[in-house]
Every structure is written in C-alpha cells, then in structure tokens.
C-alpha cells in the first residue's frame, strides 16, 4: 500500500471539525461563515496540544486561498486566530510543510496583526489574542528554516514599527518584543535590510515622529545586543573603513546612529569606537567635523563614562581643540558647555582647552568660547570655575566688538539672574560681584559702540528700568555703594555724557523754534555732527540725523514729544511711551536705527521725580543710621549723598519738588561735615528758580547758608557762597552783609580765620569789582605782608618730605589760602590792573624758587615747604589758564614752574602732574605747558612715569580729535596741534638747570630721555610727519635763543638739544627717505629770534656721544625753502616763519599729518658739505626754456639699453626773485665753497635763470655763458677734466654724498636756487646746490654697500607747490614750443595730466642739457640720436625715457629673473 500510494497523487486529508463546530464551506454567506468561525475559534482556544492529529485537514482547509483572501475583515481575523491556535496545537511542528504555503500563511498573519494599530477598535481583543498567541508560541520561529525568511521578518518588523503608538499598553509592547526578539537571537543571520528597519527608528526624524517606535527599537536592541552586535559591527566596518553604503536611509546617518546606539547599548560599539579615532585624524575636514560632533555628544552626555573607559579616544578628541580647521575648533568649543554641566570629572581638561581657545586667532572661535562659558553659567553657576569667568572677563577687552559685546551682555545677564534670586548663596553673590565693576570699566574705552552697550546694560541688567521706582532706586543705591572707585567715576561720566547729549538735542530743538533762515541751517549742522559722533558709524549716522532733522522741521508732533522727553517733569514710564510713539511715527525708514539709539541715550529711563523721592528716603535712612541698607553697606550715607550729587547735576529737574528740598535741608543740618558739603553742592546744582517756586524753602535755607559762610568749615563756606550765587537774585547785597563779618575774622587768633580767607577769596572771584577797594587793601596790607611774608611760629622737627593734612600747621594753611585768595581775585578781574598779575606771578615764582620758604628764614620745615611750593605752582597753573596772565609769565618763571614735576617730594610731583593734566585736557592751558611733561622722562618711579606717559598720550589724542571735530580750530593750528610742542620742549630742556655746557655728556643723555618721552607718542601716533619734524629742528638751528640771544653757550646748548632730537628722529625711521615738507614750520617768536642768514649744519654733540642713529651723516640739516613761505606769515630771509604769537591763525599752514597726496611721493635728499664742493655744469642756451618747465616737477633718468647703467639727470633749477635789481653774490673761485648770502624770494612759482650774477626774467631769457656751451661733446668732456685737475680735484666719491637712512642710497637736496655760471649755485637762503660729475656713479660703487629696493612713487596731480610751468613737458628750444599729443609716445599720452612718474632715487627738477645725462658716455649712438632730433621729437623721446629703473644691482637681479623665465618658456 505505501508503494501504491506513492505512485498516486495524495488525497487531501479529511476535514474533521471539533465537536460542536459546524462545517465550513465556500457556499456559506458571510454572516453564517463568521458565526461558524467564531465558534471554531472559541473551541480551538480550549484544544490542547495532545489532540492535534485529527485537525490536519482542517488546518490545511483554513489555509486555503478562499479564507486567506476573503474580502471580509472579520473572516480573515477569525481565520488568523484559528491558524495561530493550530500553530499552538501542533507545536513544535506545523501541519504546513510546503515552504511557499508557510510563507503565504505568515505574510497573512503579518497583515492581520496590523489591526493592533487602534486599541479602541471593537475587534482589538481578537487582534490582541492573535498577537499573544503568536508571541507565546513563538510561531514565527518556524520561518527561520525558510529560505525567504528575511522577507517575512522584514514585513513583520516594518509592520510592528509602523503600528505601535502611545495608546498601546505595556503588555502589547512586551508581546511584540517577545514575538520579534527570537527572530534575531535564534536566526542564523540578520539581513542588512532587517537591520536598517530596526536602526532607522532610532535616528531622526523617525525618533521624534514616533517615540514609541524608538522605544520599541531601543528595547529590541538591548534584548538582542549580543546577537545583533556582529551585524552592527559589520555594517559600520563597511561604512567607516571600506566606504560601502547601503541603499537605506541609515547609510546617510552613520554618526547619528553611532550616537544613538551608544545611548541605547554601548556594548554593541566596542569594536566600532577605535575606528573613530582614525576618523578624527582624517584629512577630510567634513569627516573630522562629523566625528568631532559625534564624540562631543557621546562624551558629554549625562552619566556617560566613555571618557574613562576609552582614554585614548578622549585624548584624541581633546586634540581637536587645536585643529587646523576653524569649524572643528568651533564644534569642540560649542559642545564644551555640556561637559561643564554634565561631566564634573572632565571639567578640568575642558577648562584647559577653553583657556587656550580664548586666545584663538579667529573671532568666531573666541566668540563661541565666551558664549559657551556663559551658557553653562546661566544653567548652573557652580559648574563654571573662576578661571573660566576670568577668561570671559578678559574677552571684554577683545579687539573685535562682537566678542566684547557677547562677553559683556552675558556677564550682565548672569549678574542680573543671581541678584534676582531670593535664595542666592553668599558664594554665588561673591562670584559675580566683580561683574558690575568690569562692565562699567568698559566705559573708559573710546569706542562709541562699547559705551552705548554699557549704557544699555546699565538700564537693562544692572538697574532694570522696568522695575518699580522704589525697587529701582534701591538697586541703584546698592550698586553705587558697592562699586570701586574707577567704576564710580565711569558711572558718573556715563550720566554726565548722557546729559551733554540731552543738552545738544535741546539746543537743536531751540533752533527749530527760530525762523527758517540760512543762519539757522548753518547753526544746526554742528549740532547734528556732534550728535552723530555719539552714535555708531558717525558718517552714516550723520546722514540719518540730517533726515531726522528734516522730519523735525515738518512734524510738529515729534518736536513736542522730544520736548517732553527732555523736560525735567518727564516720568520714566512717559519717556518709554514717548520713545515708542516717535519710533512709530518714523515708520520703517533707514534712519530708524540711529534715531532709536539716540532716543535711548537721552530718554530718562531710570530717574524721575518719583524715583528721586524714593532715593531720598533711602539716603535719609542711611544718614540717620536706620534701615537694612546701613547694616549691609559700609559708608552708606556718604555713597548715597555722592549719588544724589551726581544725579543733581544730570537731572536737576527731578529734584525740583518740595519733598526733595525738605530732605536736603535736613541733610544740611546734619552734624556730619561731609554730608553738609555734598548737600550744598546739590543745592548749587538744583537751586535755580528756588526763590520764586519755593519761597518757604528759600527763606529757611538762606540763613543756614550765611551762617556757613561765616562760621562753617572752609569747604562748607566755599560751597555756600556758590549756592548763594545760584539761588539769590541780589547776591551782591547778601555778600556785602557777610563781607564785613569776614573782614573782622581776618585775625590769626580768630577761630574762623581760614574760613574767612576762603570765603573772601570766592567772593572776590564772583564779585571782583564790587569789593575791589577792600580787597586791594586786604591783599596788600594783610595777605602779603602779614601772612605770606611773616613766619610767626617755630617749625616742628620733621625731616620727612611730606606729612598728612592733620599735621600741617595753621600758619602754613593760612599761607596756602592767602595765595589762593589772591589767585581767585585775579581770576575774577581777568586783567593786569596795576600790574597785579605781574607782581603775583613774581611772588609765586619766588616761592617756588626758594623751595617753599618765601623769605628764606629757615622757619618752615620740609613737608610744609613742599605744600607751599605746590600751592604756588597750582596757583600759577590756574592763572595762566586766562590768556591775559599767560602772556605775562616770563621764561624764568615758566622754567621754574616746570621743575615741580621733578620735585624731590613724590607727593608734589604727583599732585602737580594731576593738576597740569587737568588743565591740559580741558584745553585751558596753552600748548607750551604740555612741554613740562617731557621732564617726567627722568622720573624714577616707574608707575608714576607710566601714568604721565598716559597723560601725554591722552592730551595728544584729545588735541587731534578736537581739531578734527571743530573746523574753527584750523585757525589755531599752532596753539593746538601737538607737534608744535617740540619747540617748547627743546627750549625748556636747553635751559635745564643741570645743563651747564653743551658738551656735558651725562646731562645730554638725560635730556635725550626727556625728548624720547615726548617724541615717542608723537611719532607713533602719526608716521607721516618725519619731514615736518626734521624741518622744524633744522629751523630752530637757524635761529637764536630769544631768552639770551647773544649768549653763545646758550645757543649752543639749544642746538645740541636740537641735534638730540634729530638723532632720535633718525633712529625712529631707519628706512626713511627725507622729503621736502609742503610748508614751513612756525616757531614762537617768544622763544626764538629771527632765523640766521646761514644754514647751520654743524653737529653740536660731543664727538664720542653715543648716538641712537649710527649714521651720523643723516643729521645733516634740510634748508628751508623760501618758495614755500606763506604770504600771510612773518617771513625772514631764509623763508622760516616766525610766529609773533603762538596762536596766530594761518590758513596756509597744513597739519603735518594731513599733507596732500602729491607730496607723499616726493623725494628730496640732503647734501653734505663735501658734496657742495662738486662742480656743476651750466645749461645750454637751447635748453634754458626747457629747464624752466621741467624744474621742480619731474625727475627723469635716461636708461642706456646698451650698458644697462643707472643714469641721472643734471639738476638745473631756476627761480624768479621778488626784486630784479637786488644784487647776487659774485661767482666763487674754483675749488672753494661759495659764501652763503640770503635773498628774499617771492612766493610765486616762476622760473628764472641767472647769468654771471645778473638776474634774468623768464620772459627774456639770455643764454648762460658756460665754458662748455657750443663745444662738441668730446671737447666738453676734456674741458671738464682739465678744470677738475686745475681745481685740485673733487673729493673722493665715497665722501661726496651723504648716506641716507636707506642703505646704499644718496640724499640730495631739491634744488630751489638759481644756478651760478661758475659751476656753483645758491639762493639767498644759504642753500648751496651743485650738479653731479660723471665720476659720481663710479664713486657710489666704491661704497661697497648694496642698496635696498626703493619704493616707486608717482606725483599726484595738483601738488601743493607745483605750478603749471612745473608740469609742462620740457621743450629743448623755447618755452612756446610744445609737442602735439598725437606725436607723443604712448608713455606720455597714457600718463595722467600733470602727474608724471618719477624715480625715487633721481633728483627732482632735473633736466637734460644737450640730450646727454650725467653718467653716460658722450658720443654713443643713443646720445647722438637724441641730440640730432628735432625739438618736438626730443621732448617725446625724453618723456618716453621717464621710467623707473633701479640701481645696477637691482637691474642685474631683474635680468637674471628674465633669463630664468625665458628658460622656463
């Protein structure tokens, strides 16, 4: 039977149904079929695994296509449940043996499991039963043996991940995992497709889109980690090492996948992490960026221990902080905040890296460091170390504004957060306490952006303007009381600067109320410019403000809002509303930003009348010692009063309430003298209109003020007098009432003697004429004779140089106050009536000269003498701030005053320097007093010396900035421009008391230190004024000392100091080529006489004096050109301007730092005494008119292509003098220097020729009779050689020319004098000029100095000193001949008009006589060709020859390069 059966087709087994179940057939309708399947499914749930033999046929029948493809969802679900039970009943075997059938069945089951998606569906319980059955029995494990099992698994996993959601209970998820996990752990392999289906759910965007799918995938990986690890490892190995990528979405997210797997199950990456170390060192920047970002996240995650487990990888990651790529370094820095917050064990390593990156050269990296540290501090201040906060503090001074602003804003926000925390610990408060000081210290920067930022931080973080008035004022009080000294000054300056801006805007509004005229428009422009300078990008801001000003003209409402904003009655809330309304009316115009910043700076966002009343209450509690403020703050009362005093100056209208004045009267009666003094100053600031508006307050205040003037302390009396002057309309009458009482107190025995002296002095300053008679008697009979000239008490033994204030005797105090009384009276008079000013200055000078002991009786001890001479010096500084007294001071008095900065007492030096600096910064002291700071070059205390250096630099910058901002200041160039301090400095140093001989080497060394002290900041601040300085020093050497003009030793000392200055100048510019400065310097006639007739070229320093500039020849003088002298100035024979008054306006003079572009490219070199002995050739007759056009304009060289030699043109310059009949000097004898005779020359730029001592007009030119004219080139050459032999020969070429600061180059003075027929030339300024013989070129070679490359220059069109004649291309025949543009060479036609290229190493004003240049062989084909040309062709050839060629060594170098290029080609 078995064999028979095998040959026949097997019959399907008989379908047997369980008892109670009806037969299933295809003929049944849906309802009946569902009913019978439900019954069958119910029975199958109760069937055990032992009764499975009878149901094979039923199992096969249920798996037929009829049921699996039935259109009814219910039928398919019931069939699926039945099949699932069949798998349970027949487990571990299945009744289905055909692989295809099994595949179809399991795909059917997967499809039915999709019904689990909606837990609220009616059939969900059956779907859940299906899932539970399949998971419990592990039915899908049967598929492991199938060849196509991965398709089933992929379908199953994909379906499960797609249907799971947050509505599913935990048991549903667990059954899903139970069903899926065995398919991985027990399978022989896991396909890449299945792995992708799992992994795609753990990365973005799938992770965020379906978090339950992510959780399921996470749990699945954790359960199957051991089984899935090899497949994950193989996947990453293919991707990272071999570069193979799958086609799934996962392949593009390798590093995200690694990060997620590390979070889920780090063990699966044990073999992958070493590969990342190699990726960190990849040459591909994008790979390094991706891996760096990945590892940063992996290392910085909370509870991550990857760094401790994989130390090499961690160290490799730290190395990326120093990566060459900016993007990689930025990534490392950006993720550092997570390390600081989440990884306490790694903070040390990360801190070291961040400290290094704070000095990164890239702005973006430094900015990222700041933001990272601040972000971490905002999350948790405790996780950020003090070192990191110091890094941020350092970045507040970064050179880039973006970094600075990030640091300041972040620190301010941290400070605000900590101060607002009610539970902030003392350690946290202490940790951020320095921030308030640091923010305000930034206001010392000159950058407008930084200042605007500090103001914004003050209003938003330090003292939030949005807080209620009481809370806001309390915060302000605490802030002010806890600031350091420098921060308080910065805050005061901030408030005062805002006040100045408000005043400017108020003035602009007042102009709008005037009639619309041209005068109003002109008056508005300076106001707009002034406001633009207080905004970012002043140029753009100026345009924006002009547009805003036009809007103000048309829009009355905006003007009204601005007026309300600037009124003293405007509240903080109203100010905010007004600003918003103005901005709304402005719309979206381009001017919006600038106007917004301006409004923010002028709006009173912190202070109004309500706020001042609240602040008064806090200060009142502090003064009385009540409240918590007194307990928490030290010196709370003094800090509160100083704050009120500052606010009273800035917001005087906010104090104009009865409540505020009542508080002030209470403070005035307080026993604390400091509180009373500050209250008086507040009344002086806010008392305007008090008498009319608050008569009751005025009536109670006036007696108190009068009492303080009579019997108060000296400081109280001083401020009380100022208050009376402000409050009272009839101040003279009130002063008259107290004056009689004060006169009676002028007695040494009176208890109020010092108060009387102070009060009388201030009354005398305010009302000098009203009490003139009484004051004259008091000063002459009492102050001078009884106080200053008498020594009543015996001195106390005290050998110290200074003593505290309380140890100063009453007599010394009286003498100091006596000097101040006289000084104040003179300041009130502002005139030298009855020679009071002269006698007072003489008395004060005598006090200083006698070291503080006026009468020299020896009854004053050293510390009191120091105070007396300091007081005398301070009084002089005060007096000379008035021009009427500045003109009276003598040289000796000024020099005696200057000595105070070198006083033996340190305190005297410090206080005197501070007072001097204050007067200089206010631009009240004349420029002459800036020279006093030069004596600080000998200051022994380094800190004080550095401070004075800052004083000097600050004043230089202040003067330069003032001249830029005020166009009217150009008329006072000589009294404002800091360069003009050098003549005063030189004169002051030349009269140093230790400088007895100009050959005193030790003293000269000290004086050089003083000069260096002044010249360093001047030269560093402007690199374009070397020529001005050189010309200035040479000009001084041509004058005499006006103090002792006939004393030869005095003049020699003056010249020696000039030589020191020249030496310093040359040492500061080793590669500097001297050029002719476009204007002559102005020397003060008070210090220097008119210039001498001769040029002073002698060096007055000792021969063995150690020069800073080793090339002593470069100290040769540059003669001053009379051609450059302005007609409006006093002019001497040599063309040097001497100012009759130091502040005499001169529009022709330009600032040394603002020379025209055309003068920058000029080159004029100095001539040594030896070079003056070289002979010069006279121009040919046919070349004379050509020379008239070419002089002072072009410097040309003919370049011989045959010999490739450097050539030069003979310098022939001609000029026209002012008087044609004026005699010139006779021709000198051969071989000797010509006497230097001065000649006054006209300022006009016209050319003339001189023939044998007769002046010829340019229009009537006559030929110059030269020995060489009319001869052949060969004959001329032989004649020259003969003359050279007769004259004893010229000096050796090595000595003929002075070596310039540039190695290997020569310096030749630009020829500005007529040429004499004898071969020597000179103008009447004493400038001797000769042309170079042909042997000079050979002599230069003997120097054996390789020249450096010389920078090429180009004359700018419209040079200041060039005329039309200077710019004409020279014609060889006549002045009327010209070259047609069509016939000119391309070199000429391509040149800009009046701007021809010149050689920087060729003398200017050179021409070519006979078509032959110096240094060329005569008779060569090139020369003959030029000589035989027509005039027009010669001019064109000459212009074509204007080219820039270097020295012979340079040309040889160029030829070598050309040959190398040819070989390469």
**Regarding predicted confidence, which is higher, 770 or 1169?**
770
pLDDT beyond 50 at 1302: no
Among the ranges given (56-70, 191-205, 1092-1106, 1159-1173), the one the predictor scored with the smallest mean pLDDT: 1159-1173
Q: Determine the pLDDT at residue 1437.
A: 52
Per-residue three-class SS string for 409-438: HHHHHHHHHHHHCCCCCHHHHHHHCHHHHH
**Regarding predicted confidence, which is higher, 243 or 1315?**
243
Task: Tell me if 159 sits within 8 A of 208, measured CB to CB.
Answer: no
Predicted confidence (pLDDT) per residue in 480-533, tens digit: 999 999 999 999 999 999 999 999 999 999 999 988 888 898 889 989 999 999
The span from the CA of 1387 to the CA of 92, in Å, is: 105
Q: Determine the pLDDT at residue 1282.
A: 44
Predicted confidence (pLDDT) per residue in 1011-1044, tens digit: 999 999 988 755 557 788 888 998 999 999 999 9
Place of tokens 């009616």: 122
* Count of Cβ atoms closer than 10 Å to residue 683 Cβ: 28
The span from the CA of 44 to the CA of 90, in Å, is: 12
* Residue 1210 parent element (H or E): strand 1210-1211
Kindly state the tokens that stand for 1395. Answer: 């701007």
Strand partners, 1353: 1398
Task: Tell me if 1233 sits within 8 A of 1172, measured CB to CB.
Answer: yes
Predicted confidence (pLDDT) per residue in 948-987, tens digit: 999 999 999 999 888 887 777 778 888 899 999 999 999 9
Q: Determine the pLDDT at residue 1433.
A: 56
Q: Sign of dihedral through CA atoms 55, 58, 64, 70?
A: negative
pLDDT beyond 90 at 821: yes
DSSP, collapsed to helix, strand or coil, labels residue 1132 as coil
Question: 1464 falls in which pLDDT band (50, 70, 90)?
Answer: low
Among the ranges given (762-771, 864-873, 878-887, 1285-1294), the one the predictor scored with the smallest mean pLDDT: 1285-1294
- Mean of the pLDDT values across residues 466-482? 93
Predicted confidence (pLDDT) per residue in 900-913, tens digit: 999 999 999 999 99
Q: Determine the pLDDT at residue 1265.
A: 37
Predicted confidence (pLDDT) per residue in 32-76, tens digit: 888 888 888 888 888 877 766 677 888 888 888 888 888 898 899
Q: Determine the pLDDT at residue 51.
A: 64
Helices 836-849 and 810-829 cross at an angle (nearest 10°) of: 150
Torsion angle, alpha carbons of 853, 857, 861, 863, to 10: 0
- Mean of the pLDDT values across residues 1368-1392? 36
- Mean of the pLDDT values across residues 802-820? 93
User: How much of the chain exceeds pLDDT 70, in percent?
Assistant: 74
Q: Determine the pLDDT at residue 1283.
A: 41
pLDDT beyond 80 at 339: yes
* Residue 1255 parent element (H or E): strand 1254-1256
Q: Determine the pLDDT at residue 925.
A: 95
Q: Determine the pLDDT at residue 16.
A: 80
**Regarding predicted confidence, which is higher, 852 or 964?**
852
The span from the CA of 1192 to the CA of 1312, in Å, is: 8
b/e 925-943 (16+ beta carbons within 10 angstroms → b): bbbbbbbbbbbbbbbeeee
Q: Determine the pLDDT at residue 1111.
A: 56
The span from the CA of 1137 to the CA of 1133, in Å, is: 10
First to last CA, the chain: 101
pLDDT beyond 80 at 1218: no
Question: 1155 falls in which pLDDT band (50, 70, 90)?
Answer: very low
Q: Determine the pLDDT at residue 671.
A: 87
Question: 1371 falls in which pLDDT band (50, 70, 90)?
Answer: very low
pLDDT beyond 50 at 1213: no
| Bridge pairing between strands 1321-1322 and 1328-1329 | antiparallel
Residues 6+ apart with CB under 8 A from 1184: 1214, 1249, 1261, 1263, 1264
| Bridge pairing between strands 1406-1407 and 1210-1211 | antiparallel
The span from the CA of 1023 to the CA of 1155, in Å, is: 12
Q: Is 684 left (phi over 0), alpha (psi -120 to 50) or beta?
A: alpha
pTM for the structure as a whole: 0.69
Mean per-residue pLDDT of the chain: 77
* Residue 1082 parent element (H or E): strand 1082-1084
**Regarding predicted confidence, which is higher, 1252 or 458?**
458
pLDDT beyond 70 at 357: yes
Q: Determine the pLDDT at residue 504.
A: 94
Task: Tell me if 1446 sits within 8 A of 1387, measured CB to CB.
Answer: no
Q: Determine the pLDDT at residue 274.
A: 86
Q: Determine the pLDDT at residue 1436.
A: 55
- Mean of the pLDDT values across residues 266-287? 89
Predicted confidence (pLDDT) per residue in 553-594, tens digit: 988 999 999 999 998 889 999 999 999 999 988 877 777 888
Q: Determine the pLDDT at residue 755.
A: 94
Task: Tell me if 1018 sits within 8 A of 1065, measured CB to CB.
Answer: no
Place of tokens 């310097």: 1081
pLDDT beyond 90 at 1208: no
pLDDT beyond 50 at 1091: yes
Q: Determine the pLDDT at residue 1077.
A: 52
* Count of Cβ atoms closer than 10 Å to residue 1460 Cβ: 10
Q: Sign of dihedral through CA atoms 512, 515, 516, 520?
A: negative
* CA-based nearest residue to 880, from 1142, 644, 672: 1142
* CA-based nearest residue to 79, from 30, 120, 149: 30
Among the ranges given (679-693, 789-803, 1124-1138), the one the predictor scored with the smallest mean pLDDT: 1124-1138
């Amino acid at each position: 039977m078995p064999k028979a059966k095998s040959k026949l087709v097997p019959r399907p087994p008989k379908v047997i149904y369980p008892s109670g179940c009806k037969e299933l057939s295809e003929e049944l309708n849906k309802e009946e079929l569902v009913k019978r399947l439900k019954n069958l499914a119910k029975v199958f749930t109760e069937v055990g695994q032992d009764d499975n033999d009878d149901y094979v046929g039923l199992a096969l029948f249920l798996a037929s296509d009829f049921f699996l493809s039935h259109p009814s969802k219910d039928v398919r679900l019931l069939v699926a449940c039945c099949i699932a039970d069949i798998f349970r009943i027949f487990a571990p075997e299945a009744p289905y043996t055909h692989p295809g059938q099994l595949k179809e069945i399991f795909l059917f089951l997967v499809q039915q499991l999709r019904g689990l998606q909606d837990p609220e569906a009616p059939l969900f319980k059956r779907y859940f039963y299906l899932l539970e059955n399949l998971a419990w029995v592990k039915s899908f494990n049967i598929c492991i043996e199938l060849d196509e099992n991965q398709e089933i698994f992929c379908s199953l996993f994909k379906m499960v991940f797609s249907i799971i959601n947050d509505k599913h209970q935990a048991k549903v998820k667990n059954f899903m995992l139970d069903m899926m996990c065995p398919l991985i752990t027990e399978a022989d392999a896991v396909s890449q497709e299945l792995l992708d289906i799992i992994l795609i759910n753990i990365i973005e965007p799938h992770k965020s889109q379906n978090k339950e799918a992510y959780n399921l995938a996470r749990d699945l990986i954790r359960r199957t980690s051991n089984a899935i690890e090899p497949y994950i490892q193989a996947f990453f190995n293919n991707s990272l090492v071999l570069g193979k990528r799958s086609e799934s979405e996962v392949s593009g997210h390798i590093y995200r996948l690694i990060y997620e797997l590390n979070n889920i199950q780090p063990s699966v990456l044990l073999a992958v992490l070493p590969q990342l170390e190699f990726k960190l060192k990849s040459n591909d920047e994008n790979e390094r960026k991706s891996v760096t970002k990945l590892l940063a996240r992996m290392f910085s995650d909370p509870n991550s221990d990857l760094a401790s487990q994989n130390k090499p990888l961690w160290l490799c990651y730290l190395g990326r902080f120093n990566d060459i790529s900016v993007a990689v370094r930025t990534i490392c820095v950006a993720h550092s905040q997570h390390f600081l917050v989440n990884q306490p064990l790694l903070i040390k390593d990360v801190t070291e890296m961040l400290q290094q990156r704070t000095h990164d050269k890239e702005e973006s990296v430094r900015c990222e460091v700041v933001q990272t540290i601040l972000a971490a501090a905002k999350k948790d201040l405790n996780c950020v170390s003090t070192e990191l906060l110091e890094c941020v503090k350092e970045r507040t001074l970064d050179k880039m504004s973006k970094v600075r602003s990030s640091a300041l804003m972040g620190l301010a926000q941290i400070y605000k957060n900590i101060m607002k925390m009610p539970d902030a610990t003392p350690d946290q408060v202490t940790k951020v306490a320095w921030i308030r000081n640091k923010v305000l210290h930034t206001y010392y920067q000159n950058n407008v952006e930084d200042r605007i930022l500090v103001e914004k931080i003050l209003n938003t973080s330090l003292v939030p303007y949005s807080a209620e008035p009481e809370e806001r004022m309390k915060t302000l009080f605490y802030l002010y009381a806890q600031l350091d000294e420098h921060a308080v000054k910065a805050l005061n300056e901030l408030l005062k600067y805002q006040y100045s801006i408000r005043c400017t805007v108020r003035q602009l509004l007042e102009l709008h109320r005037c009639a619309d005229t041209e005068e109003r428009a002109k008056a508005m422009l300076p106001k707009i410019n002034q406001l633009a300078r207080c905004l970012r990008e002043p140029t753009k801001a100026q345009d924006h403000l002009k547009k805003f000003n036009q809007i103000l003209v048309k829009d009355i409402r905006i003007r009204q809002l601005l007026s309300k904003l600037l009124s003293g009655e405007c509240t903080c809330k109203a100010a905010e509303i007004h600003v918003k309304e103005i901005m709304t009316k402005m719309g979206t115009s381009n001017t919006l930003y600038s106007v917004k910043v301006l409004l923010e700076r002028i709006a009173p966002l912190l202070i109004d009348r309500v706020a001042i009343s609240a602040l008064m209450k806090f200060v009142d509690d502090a003064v009385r010692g009540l409240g918590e403020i007194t307990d928490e703050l030290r010196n709370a009362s003094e800090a509160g009063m100083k704050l009120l005093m500052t606010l009273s100056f800035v917001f005087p209208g906010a104090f104009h309430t009865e409540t505020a004045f009542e508080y002030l009267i209470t403070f005035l009666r307080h026993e604390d003298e400091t509180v009373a003094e500050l209250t008086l100053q507040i009344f002086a600031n806010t008392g305007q209109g008090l008498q009319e508006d608050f008569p009751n307050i005025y009536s109670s205040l006036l007696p108190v003020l009068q009492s303080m003037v009579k019997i108060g302390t000296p400081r109280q009396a001083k401020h009380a007098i100022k208050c009376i002057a402000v409050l009272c309309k009839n101040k003279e009458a009130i002063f008259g009432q107290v004056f009689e009482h004060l006169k009676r107190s002028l007695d040494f025995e009176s208890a109020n003697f010092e108060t009387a002296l102070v009060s009388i002095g201030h009354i005398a300053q305010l009302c000098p004429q009203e009490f003139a008679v009484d004051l004259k008697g008091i000063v002459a009979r009492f102050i001078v004779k009884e106080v200053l000239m008498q020594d009543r008490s015996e001195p106390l033994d005290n050998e110290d140089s200074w003593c505290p204030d309380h140890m100063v005797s009453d007599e010394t105090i009286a003498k100091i106050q006596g000097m101040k009384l006289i000084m104040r009276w003179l300041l009130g008079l502002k005139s030298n009536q009855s020679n009071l000013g002269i006698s007072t200055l003489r008395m004060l000078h005598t006090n200083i000269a006698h070291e503080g002991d006026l009468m020299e009786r020896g009854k004053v001890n050293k510390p009191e003498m120091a105070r007396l001479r300091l007081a005398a010096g301070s009084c002089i500084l005060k007096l000379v701030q008035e021009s009427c007294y500045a003109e009276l001071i003598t040289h000796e008095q000024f020099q005696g005053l200057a000595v105070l900065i070198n006083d033996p007492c340190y305190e005297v030096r410090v206080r005197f320097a501070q007072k001097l600096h204050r007067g200089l910064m206010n631009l009240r002291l004349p420029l002459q007093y800036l020279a006093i700071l030069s004596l600080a070059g000998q200051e022994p205390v380094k800190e004080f010396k550095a401070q004075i250096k800052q004083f000097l630099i600050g004043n230089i910058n202040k003067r330069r900035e003032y001249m830029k901002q005020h166009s009217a200041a150009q008329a006072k160039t000589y009294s404002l421009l800091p360069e003009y301090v050098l003549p005063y400095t030189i004169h002051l140093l030349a009269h140093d008391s230790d400088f007895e001989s100009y050959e005193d080497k030790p003293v000269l060394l000290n004086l050089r230190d003083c000069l260096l002290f002044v010249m360093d900041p001047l030269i560093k601040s402007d690199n374009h004024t070397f020529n001005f300085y050189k010309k200035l020093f040479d000009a001084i050497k041509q004058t005499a000392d006006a103090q002792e003009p006939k004393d030869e030793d005095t003049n020699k000392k003056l010249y020696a100091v000039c030589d020191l200055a020249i030496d310093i100048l040359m040492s500061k510019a080793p590669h500097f080529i001297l050029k002719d400065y476009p204007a002559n310097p102005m020397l003060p006639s008070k210090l220097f006489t008119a210039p001498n007739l001769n040029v002073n070229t002698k060096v007055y320093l000792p021969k063995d004096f150690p020069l800073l500039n080793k090339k002593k020849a470069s100290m040769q003088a540059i003669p001053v050109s009379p051609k450059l002298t302005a007609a409006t100035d006093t002019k001497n024979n040599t063309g040097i301007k001497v100012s009759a008054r130091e502040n005499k306006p001169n529009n022709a003079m330009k600032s040394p730092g603002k020379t025209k572009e055309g003068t920058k490219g000029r080159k004029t070199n100095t001539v040594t005494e030896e070079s003056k002995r070289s002979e010069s050739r006279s121009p040919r007759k046919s070349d004379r008119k050509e020379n008239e056009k070419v002089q002072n304009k072009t410097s040309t060289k003919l370049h011989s292509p045959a010999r490739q030699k450097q050539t030069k043109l003979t310098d022939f310059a001609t000029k026209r003098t002012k008087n044609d009949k004026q005699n010139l000097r006779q021709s000198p004898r051969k071989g000797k220097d010509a006497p230097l005779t001065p000649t006054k020359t006209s300022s006009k730029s016209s050319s003339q020729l001189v023939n044998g001592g007769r002046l010829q007009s340019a229009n009537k030119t006559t030929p110059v009779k030269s020995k060489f004219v009319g001869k052949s080139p060969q004959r001329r050459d032989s004649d020259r050689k003969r003359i050279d032999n007769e004259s004893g020969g010229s000096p050796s070429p090595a000595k003929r020319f002075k070596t310039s600061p540039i190695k290997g180059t020569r310096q030749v003075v630009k020829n500005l004098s007529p040429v004499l027929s004898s071969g020597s030339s000179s103008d009447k300024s004493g400038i001797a000029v000769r042309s170079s013989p042909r042997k000079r070129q050979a002599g230069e070679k003997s120097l054996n100095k390789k020249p450096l490359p010389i920078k090429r220059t180009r004359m700018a069109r419209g040079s200041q000193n060039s005329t039309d004649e200077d710019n004409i291309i020279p014609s060889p025949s006549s002045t009327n001949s010209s070259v047609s543009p069509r016939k000119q060479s391309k070199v000429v036609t391509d040149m800009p008009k009046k701007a021809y290229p010149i050689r920087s190493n060729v003398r200017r004003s050179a021409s070519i006589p006979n078509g032959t240049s110096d240094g060329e062989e005569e008779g060569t084909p090139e020369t003959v060709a030029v000589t035989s040309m027509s005039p027009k062709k010669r001019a064109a050839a000459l212009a074509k020859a204007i080219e820039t060629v270097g020295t012979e060594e340079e040309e040889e170098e160029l030829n070598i390069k050309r040959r190398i290029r040819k070989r390469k080609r």
